[in-house]
Amino acid sequence: MSQYISGNTELIKVAQAVASEKGISSESVIDAIEQAIKVAAKKKYGNDYLIEASVDRKTGSFKIYRKLLVVEKVEDANQEISVDQVKASGESYDSIILGDYVNHNLPPVDVGRLVAQVVKQVIVQKIRNAETDKNYEQFKSKINQIVTGVVKKVGPRGALLDISGVEAFLDKGDSIPNEVFKQNERVRALVKDIQKKETGLQIYLTRTSNEFLVKLFAQEVPEIFDGIIQIKSVSREPGARAKVGVHAVESSLDPVGACVGVRGSRVQVVISELKGEKIDIIEWSSDPAKFVVNALVPARVLKVII
């Protein structure tokens, strides 16, 4: 950045280039530049002034001004102006009433190295916030959906994954017991939660939830994806065993057979993804007693008391 902030069409071109590179709107970058100029002006004129800055979106020219509140009697000359002073300045009194703000233009800002660094920090933060908002909009619709990420880092608390350029965290407690991740390994997980924080966007993943198992079956069994077979109930001990209650909307369909697949081809893919978790697929029933009997197969049930 040059030692003087100077407005011209190059400013707009820079804003558009940065916006294109970061995948955000040029308006967000120009807002950042305005904020940066405002910070620089406050460095020069002091925080007692209500300073604002604006950049012309077409020409790139900018102006710095301070806002003064119109009052009857001035108590703070840095932030207030009297009606008489407004008249003396040549402003049209008819259009200004008590409580309004008038703008007084300030001279250009001389930006030294220290201020230039502050300006840079403001722009970087503004761009980071815009990226956070963009990624939040992109990922909020993916809650309870399966995503695929590449392992960037593995630590004692869990694994950090890269999902299309966005970082997400898979906590150790949300990982299948005893599974070990390696750097650059591709991992599938369910988006459990997404939060905006001061440090940026925090995306939390899970591989232990019942919903993750349900979504895996939906990916492998077209009948579940289409809704003609429904998963009604799931009980799971991650990494060890699970029972899945399925129901066919059409009575002619065999829901268990469809989920198992030819020679177990479909369920085997899910078992492999869950690190060998044993999965029992049973037919769901609205009759609790019958459902319990189905769930306990191959054990022979003598009596069920509800």
Taking only the tens place, the pLDDT of each residue in 167-203 is 899 999 999 998 999 999 999 999 999 988 777 788 9
143 contact partners, CB below 8 Å, separation of at least 6: 191, 192, 193, 194
The full DSSP string for 182-228 is -TT-EEEEEEEEEEEETTEEEEEEESSSHHHHHHHHHHH-HHHHTTS
pTM for the structure as a whole: 0.64
Taking only the tens place, the pLDDT of each residue in 128-166 is 888 888 888 888 888 999 999 999 999 999 999 999 888
The reported pLDDT for the residue numbered 10 is 65
Taking only the tens place, the pLDDT of each residue in 73-131 is 888 888 888 877 877 766 555 667 788 888 888 887 765 554 456 556 667 777 788 88
For the chain, where are the E strands, in sequence order?
51-55, 62-71, 80-82, 101-106, 146-155, 158-163, 166-171, 186-197, 200-206, 229-237, 241-248, 278-283
Helices (H) and strands (E) in the chain, counts: 9, 12
Task: Give the sheet arrangement for strand 278-283, strand by strand.
Answer: 229-237, 241-248, 278-283
What is the rounded average pLDDT of the residues 264-291? Answer: 92
